[in-house]
Amino acid sequence: MSDPAPKGETVAARLVALRDHDEEMRRHLLKAGRLFEGYCPEMEQVHLENAAELEKIIAEFGYPSVSKVGSEAADAAWLVIQHAISRPEFMRRMLKILQKLPAGEIDPRNLARLEDRIRMYEGLPQRYGTQFDWDDDGKLSPVLHDPVAEVDRRRRELGMESLAEATEHFRKNQEFTPDPAFLERHRQGYREWLIRTGWRHRATDGTLK
């Protein structure tokens, strides 16, 4: 006889624990001054382990939506997906699952953030302008996105602040401002990471596609 499926309360606790472990590692790396030196192996390991655990939960329980585990745990499940950046196909597969959930089963703003993150790594313009990186002056700015009017219209539909207001917020809370040498290392490392993980490929002329 097979084991019974886990209960929603048990799954919720597992998901919140995954989120807390992620946040604990981030705080540790920030305190150690290592958070911004590329994608830290320790952080990546947490993200990979959390993604694997979420896959187990889905296999046992189905996708942990709001009605099954509550909004906090559902947000935690989304965070695991959002941070599984070394696994492109997993993120794409999860996006398709989330897009098919009935209204109210996931925060639509989280769905927008996941779609934007995938598009960013694929080299496509964001639809909601939720993903930021350092610009040439070391200030956090939204990466490539659709025309601002379209982005702001979509953001308003989700109850989000304007892109300009979001940019102001990101910059006000910016934890680190890189110098030009750091920026160059960051961008080169990011390009190599995109290729290594399979998000992008190097064309014959050296550009990414």
Domain limits of the chain?
1-106
pLDDT at 1: 42
Least Cα distance to 74 among 8, 147, 165, 152 occurs for 8
Angle between helices 71-82 and 108-121 (to 10 degrees): 0
End-to-end CA distance of the chain: 50
pLDDT at 6: 72
C-beta separation of 65 from 86 below 8 A: no
Q: DSSP label at 145?
A: B
d(CA 23, CA 19): 6
Give Cα 182 to chain centroid, integer Å: 23
Structure tokens at 121: 């790594």
d(CA 133, CA 48): 22
* pLDDT tens series, the chain, 209 aa: 445 557 888 999 999 999 999 999 999 999 999 999 889 999 999 999 999 999 999 999 999 999 999 999 999 999 999 999 999 999 999 999 999 999 999 999 999 999 999 999 999 999 999 999 999 999 999 999 999 999 999 999 999 999 999 999 999 999 999 999 999 999 999 999 999 999 999 887 778 88
Burial class (CB in 10 A: 0-12, 13-18, 19+), 196: exposed
pLDDT at 4: 58
Residue 135, classed as helix, strand or coil, is coil
C-beta separation of 46 from 106 below 8 A: no
State the pairing for strand pair 132-134/140-142: antiparallel
Helix or strand (DSSP H, E) at 133: strand 132-134
